[in-house]
Amino acid sequence: MSIKNIIGQQMFIGLSGHALTAEEKKFIVENNIGGICLFGRNVADPKQVHELCTEIQSLRHRQADKLPLFIGIDMEGGRVHRLKPPFTVWPPLRKLGELDAPTASFHFANRMGQELRAVGINLDFAPCVDVFTNSANTVIGDRSISSDPEMVAKHASALVRGYIKSEVMTCAKHFPGHGNTIVDSHLDLPVEYLDLQRLQDCELIPFKKTFKARVDMVMTSHIKFPNIDPYWPVTLSETFIQDVIRNECRYRGLIITDDLGMKAMSSHFSLEEIPVRALKAGVDLLLYCNEPEVPPQALDAIIDATAQGTLTAARLEESYKRIVDLKRAKLQNPEPLPYSEMINIVGHPEHLKIAAAINNGKMPEGLLPE
């Protein structure tokens, strides 16, 4: 496998609309792109999403290594909810914390995952396991389960298990925790003066719990913690990626960046520096959500850095192996369900009933223990 194809497998890109353009197909095929991230702009109705995911997966047969593609989406519930009716609309995670019934959290994720899996989405960038420690934090707000790390951990574990049972991969975010910030990393680089002991006592507790529950990925935050790494924000920090995630937390799954187009990155580092530094720090997957001209430039920058020795082939191959192993384990049947089955799962009355009960602060009736 060439270095170019190895790098391509480490990239997630966004799409422009409801169907693939000729340019997008060409880029995905020729560069062995590993993952696609869907947004509201890519979603019309279940039939369209089903067709789009089918088309995306068909491209693998023309790629170098012919692996299924990751197809990811942000579906947390509440305001981070890309799929609209007739998909079931799920309440924010805060409702799960208030209800405090892990069985309900398990079924919340499991039923949401069933609908994702039916249309061909195989990865949810969820759960959000940030601990809501700052009441002035509007970035996270009700996306957080609770201000109690043990409460977040308990329900995050149930959510991960629910997604796994639905055959949808999961991603805990935003490591090591976005619950204390005021600044939105979409707009600028948040700086937090917490030390590692504080993170161990609070923010890292739910992440460690999801790791034990076998979450497939963890997403790095674009936050700078000068008392832990005075030079680099988490996404670009070997201290966080290697020392904290890999060694302290003993996590062996995939590490993905948050969107590298956010101002927290693009306003402080060059387009060429960002992907090279992130990979050098030890991340496995690079997420590019919006600007279509950026992934080709990032790809060239990584290839140049490898040729110059700034990045080693061994570092890239290590991540590539993790990606291939996960895809072979979890994506043996990457196609969406047949359309006739899919339409009976999306917006199922039982799912609507569960979502409504949780939203109203009530335990849904008839849920079996996981």
User: Is 186 labeled as catalytic in the residue annotation?
Assistant: yes
In the block, which residue shows the tokens 């990751």? Answer: 70
Task: Report pLDDT digits (tens) over 175-199.
Answer: 999 988 888 888 899 999 999 999 9
Q: What is the reported pLDDT for 304?
A: 96
Domains and CATH numbers, the chain: 12-20+34-359 (3.20.20.300)
Q: What is the reported pLDDT for 44?
A: 97
Q: What is the reported pLDDT for 137?
A: 83
User: Is 258 labeled as catalytic in the residue annotation?
Assistant: yes
> What are the 10-residue block averages of pLDDT along the chain, 370 residues in total?
93 98 98 97 98 98 98 96 97 98 98 98 98 88 96 98 98 94 88 96 98 98 97 98 97 98 94 97 97 95 96 97 98 97 98 98 91
Q: Which of 74, 229, 258, 284 is catalytic?
A: 258
H or E element, residue 25: helix 22-30
**Residue 360 has what DSSP assignment?**
T
Cβ 274 vs Cβ 220: under 8 Å: no
Task: Report pLDDT digits (tens) over 123-158.
Answer: 999 999 999 998 888 889 999 999 999 999 999 999
What would the DSSP string read from start to end of 323-346?
HHHHHHHH-SS-SPPPHHHHTTTT
Rounded Cα distance, 192 and 77, in Å? 27
Cβ 17 vs Cβ 52: under 8 Å: no
Q: What is the reported pLDDT for 182?
A: 84
Rounded Cα distance, 131 and 149, in Å? 6
The phi, psi pair for 161, rounded to 5°, reads: -65, -35
Helix (H, G, I), strand (E, B) or coil at 174: strand
Q: Which amino acid is at 15?
A: L
List CB contacts of 293: < 8 A, sequence separation 6 or more: none
User: Whole-prediction pTM value?
Assistant: 0.97
Cβ 285 vs Cβ 323: under 8 Å: yes
Sign of the torsion formed by the C-alpha atoms of 278, 242, 156 and 212: positive
H or E element, residue 124: strand 123-124
